[in-house]
């Protein structure tokens, strides 16, 4: 049944429908762990200062799952564990509340029309009620009333998206410039000071390596070691009460007695290597280190359990012995000296160019060589130079006979000069312009809506 959602013949129609169902600018974001109390009127959290009941949250979570099934089809079971559906549910609730404040509504007929137009609810291009009921039952596992309410909310979110992004426009120049980045070809002359070329000639001796170690010992100090005490619970009820006790200044010992929880220890572990079997987030470790010893950290959810940590022991990092570091130091010296050599030589070339020396003579004066490339696009890879994007963008800004400023990347320093630009295929641009314009407009709208979401999140907290 899930394969219906991935039928290639109806893919385009499906994605038009999904444009309404799944707002593309949504980002993964949540309010921490969700509450799962059996009593549905208990609060699961707050947005805009109002309590959100467990029932409301469960409905939002169901809607997030429905959207994910529509998006991934028969791949949903494989990717489900990677989706933060709880976070998406909270975001959905926030945006629906914002839409409510804006008085955005959808009438029943619009919901009916949207569902009837969905290709996977149709048979022979006509809405089929039997197919509709079967897909809801076996694919989405929803009653029609619940599904239709989700669709109403999705249409409201689509209306919110349109309202926020209605003023976004893309002009012809933006379309052309983006098209040129992927299609226009040019060639360049270049002078390159590549680190790897100079590294071959640098061979540090034992004395030089030893001297570097003595001078820079502190730079090699290892990470601190920590031993944390912690409490762990899988109870949602306890997970709501413990943070209040932490805020009241209670110790881990007091909290453990309050809930009959056993204090545990991680044992010593390195600051950036959490103990095996316990996926402590790095931000939690950093938080514990910022607190006074024995003061409980804020509660954190790891997998399906809730944890509170305190710092029991902290051991400073140590400096490894020279024998452990000599090979690493050798690599550092080679890297630093090759970079410095390349920098000096490219600077010498730049000085010669400022004296109006010809490009090849300026290269030779700096101890380097002027070379040239074949025609390339910004998306290509250039022999000896690597990714073309930086060189293509710099060359586009140059006038004939003008040398660039010094460019750099992880491989070296460069000076370039534009050699030639290949005329573009204007007919191809004309054919692709409309589709590219739609793509760029969607990207810009998503960017604007993403910013709107971030602002709305802050208001909701």
The series of mean pLDDT values per 10 residues for the chain, 461 residues long, is: 43 43 38 43 81 91 92 88 89 94 94 90 91 91 93 95 95 94 95 96 95 94 93 91 90 92 93 87 90 89 91 93 95 97 97 95 95 96 95 95 96 97 94 95 94 91 81
Q: How far is CA 344 from the centre of its chain?
A: 37
Any residues with CB less than 8 A from the CB of 207 and at least 6 apart, and which? none
Closest by CA to 375, choosing from 416, 415, 421, 414, is: 421
**Per-residue pLDDT, 41:** 64
pLDDT of residue 46: 86
Region of 294 please: left (phi>0), alpha (psi -120 to 50) or beta: left
Q: In three state form, how does the secondary structure of 302-343 look?
A: ECCEEEEEEEEEEECCCCCCHHHHHHHHHHHHHHHHHHHHHH
Say what the pLDDT of residue 45 is.
Answer: 84
* Start-end of CATH 3.10.50.40 domains in the chain: 222-315
Q: How far is CA 324 from CA 65, 213, 273, 424, in A?
A: 52, 11, 20, 57
Query: What are the helix (H) ranges across 260-309?
Result: 282-290
0.85 surpassed by pTM? no
pLDDT at 49: 87
Report CA Rg, the chain: 31
Per-residue DSSP letter, 138: I
Q: How far apart are CA 433 and CA 440, in angstroms?
A: 10
Query: Is the Cβ–Cβ distance between 29 and 64 less than 8 Å?
Result: no
User: Is domain 222-315 in CATH 3.10.50.40, yes or no?
Assistant: yes
CB 305 within 8 A of CB 234: yes
Q: What are the Cα distances from residue 242, in Å, to 245, 254, 287, 294, 402?
A: 5, 11, 17, 16, 67
- Give the pLDDT score at 292: 86
Distance of CA 382 to the CA centre of its chain: 28
**Nearest one of 11, 34, 27, 5 to 304, comparing CA atoms:** 34
């Amino acid at each position: 049944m899930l394969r219906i959602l991935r039928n290639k013949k109806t893919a385009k129609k499906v994605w038009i429908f999904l444009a309404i169902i799944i707002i593309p600018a949504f980002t993964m974001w949540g309010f921490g762990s969700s509450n799962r109390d059996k009593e549905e009127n208990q609060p699961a959290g707050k947005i805009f200062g109002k309590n959100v009941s467990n029932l409301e949250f469960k409905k939002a979570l169901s809607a997030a799952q429905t959207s994910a099934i529509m998006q991934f089809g028969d791949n949903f079971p494989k990717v489900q564990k990677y989706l933060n559906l709880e976070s998406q549910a909270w975001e959905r609730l926030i945006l629906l509340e914002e839409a409510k404040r804006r008085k955005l509504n959808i009438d029943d007929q619009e919901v009916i029309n949207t569902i009837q137009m969905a290709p996977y609810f149709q048979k022979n291009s006509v809405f089929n009620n039997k197919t509709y009921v079967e897909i809801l039952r076996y694919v989405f596992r929803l009653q029609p009333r619940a599904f239709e309410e989700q669709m109403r909310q999705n249409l409201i979110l689509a209306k919110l998206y349109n309202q926020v992004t209605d003023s976004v426009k893309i002009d012809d120049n933006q379309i052309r410039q983006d098209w040129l980045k992927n299609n226009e070809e040019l060639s360049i002359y270049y002078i390159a000071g590549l680190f790897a070329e100079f590294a071959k000639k640098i061979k540090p001796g034992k004395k030089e390596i030893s001297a570097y170690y003595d001078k820079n010992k502190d730079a090699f100090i290892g990470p601190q070691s920590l031993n944390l005490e912690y409490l762990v619970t899988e109870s949602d009820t306890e997970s709501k009460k413990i943070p209040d006790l932490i805020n009241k200044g209670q110790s881990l010992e007091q909290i453990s007695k309050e809930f009959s929880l056993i204090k545990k220890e991680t044992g010593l572990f390195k600051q950036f290597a959490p103990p095996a079997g316990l996926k402590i987030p790095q931000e939690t470790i950093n938080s514990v280190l910022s607190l006074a010893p024995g003061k409980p950290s804020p509660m954190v959810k790891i997998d399906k359990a809730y944890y509170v940590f305190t710092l029991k022991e902290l051991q400073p990092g140590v400096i490894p012995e020279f024998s452990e570091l000599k090979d690493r130091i050798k690599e550092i010296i080679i890297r630093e000296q090759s970079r410095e050599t390349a920098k000096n030589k490219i600077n010498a070339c730049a000085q010669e160019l400022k004296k109006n020396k010809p490009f090849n003579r300026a290269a030779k004066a700096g101890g380097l060589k002027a070379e040239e490339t074949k025609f390339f696009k910004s998306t290509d890879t250039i022999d000896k130079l690597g990714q073309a994007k930086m060189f293509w963008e710099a060359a586009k800004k140059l006038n004939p006979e003008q040398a660039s400023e010094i460019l750099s990347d992880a491989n070296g320093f460069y000076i370039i000069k534009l050699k030639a630009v290949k005329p573009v295929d204007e007919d191809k641009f004309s054919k692709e312009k409309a589709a590219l314009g739609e793509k760029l407009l969607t990207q810009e709208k998503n960017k604007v809506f993403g910013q709107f979401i971030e602002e709305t999140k802050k208001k909701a907290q």
